[in-house]
């Protein structure tokens, strides 16, 4: 099983990238969001990968973080969701946006992805709603960047520039403007995980805690853990 690819970008497109790994070129299919964040041709990149094996086909799918790869695995477990539909959903919402949509039962947001009709969007939310809390609780750990495992010493030893990834690289697809720097995904993922842990310790159930945290983070994406906990507790407080 090929779980990670790191090498030099030879070609980029809206839905795939060709990465050279010691003389072997691997075509890795990615979402448009991931493709837009990859560095230019000639620079190094790293992606976590999922290998799809069929009788007449081998395909690699790439993800900038372990969290996104985990959501891809869960999405493709839903009947009617293939790898391309999964990438379309992740490209539209991102891993954390999908986490919030599933936790809140917001199938309309899932419906915005190409190839997803209302019935399929509702099925995705229904089947994954109970699984969302466990993924959200691990969000801080699963947002680890594919490039983080290649240190500066390794980069110097191989004679290439330090690996850039879709989550951290400033480059964008040719003909598009560079995106402004974003707050690292791990910060919000860790805040979400810590807030869920705190609410769980207070006796709240996984689903209600996940919904409250998701709603609080949707209102304030950069909220710290204490702020998320306070906002979630307000949402969970009994209404008069």
pLDDT digits (tens, 9 = 90+) for 128-145: 988 888 888 776 667 667
Q: Kindly report the CATH number that applies to the domain delimited by 4-64+145-158.
A: 2.40.50.140
Taking CA atoms, 117 is separated from 15, 77, 120, 124, 178, in Å, by 21, 17, 5, 11, 31
Q: Which fold has domain 66-139?
A: DNA polymerase; domain 1 (1.10.150)
Considering 33-42, 132-141, 143-152, 218-227, the range whose residues carry the highest mean pLDDT is 33-42
Residue with tokens 């839905």: 15
Task: Map out the domains of the chain as residue ranges.
Answer: 4-64+145-158, 66-139, 183-234
Mean pLDDT of 186-215: 81
Q: DSSP letter for 170, please.
A: -
Mean pLDDT of the chain: 81
Residue 32: predicted pLDDT: 93
pLDDT at 158 over 50: no
Residue 140: predicted pLDDT: 63
Least confident of 44-53, 56-65, 167-176: 167-176
Cα 194–Cα 200–Cα 204 angle in degrees, nearest 5: 135
pLDDT at 30 over 90: yes
pLDDT at 181 over 60: no
Q: Kindly report the CATH number that applies to the domain delimited by 183-234.
A: 1.10.8
Nearest to 194 by CA among 216, 207, 213: 213
């Amino acid at each position: 099983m090929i779980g990670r690819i790191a090498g030099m970008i030879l070609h980029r497109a809206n839905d795939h990238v060709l990465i050279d790994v010691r003389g072997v070129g691997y075509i890795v299919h990615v979402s448009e969001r991931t493709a837009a964040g990859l560095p230019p041709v000639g620079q190094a990149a790293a992606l976590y990968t999922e290998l799809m094996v069929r009788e007449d086909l081998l395909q690699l799918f790439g993800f900038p973080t372990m969290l996104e790869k985990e959501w891809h695995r869960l999405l493709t477990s839903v009947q009617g969701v293939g790898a391309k539909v999964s990438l379309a959903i992740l490209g539209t919402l991102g891993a954390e946006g999908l986490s919030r949509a599933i936790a809140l039962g917001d199938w309309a947001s899932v419906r915005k992805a190409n190839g997803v009709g209302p019935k399929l969007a509702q099925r995705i939310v229904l089947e994954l709603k109970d699984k969302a809390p466990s993924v959200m609780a691990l969000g801080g750990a699963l947002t680890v960047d594919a490039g983080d495992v290649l240190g500066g010493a390794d980069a110097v030893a191989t004679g290439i520039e330090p690996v850039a990834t879709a989550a951290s690289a400033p480059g964008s697809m040719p003909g598009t403007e560079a995106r402004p720097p974003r707050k690292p995904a791990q910060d919000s993922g860790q805040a979400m995980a810590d807030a869920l842990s705190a609410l769980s310790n207070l006796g709240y159930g996984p689903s209600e805690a996940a919904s409250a945290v998701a709603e609080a983070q949707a209102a304030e994406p950069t909220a710290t853990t204490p702020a998320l906990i306070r906002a979630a507790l307000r949402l969970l407080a009994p209404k008069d």
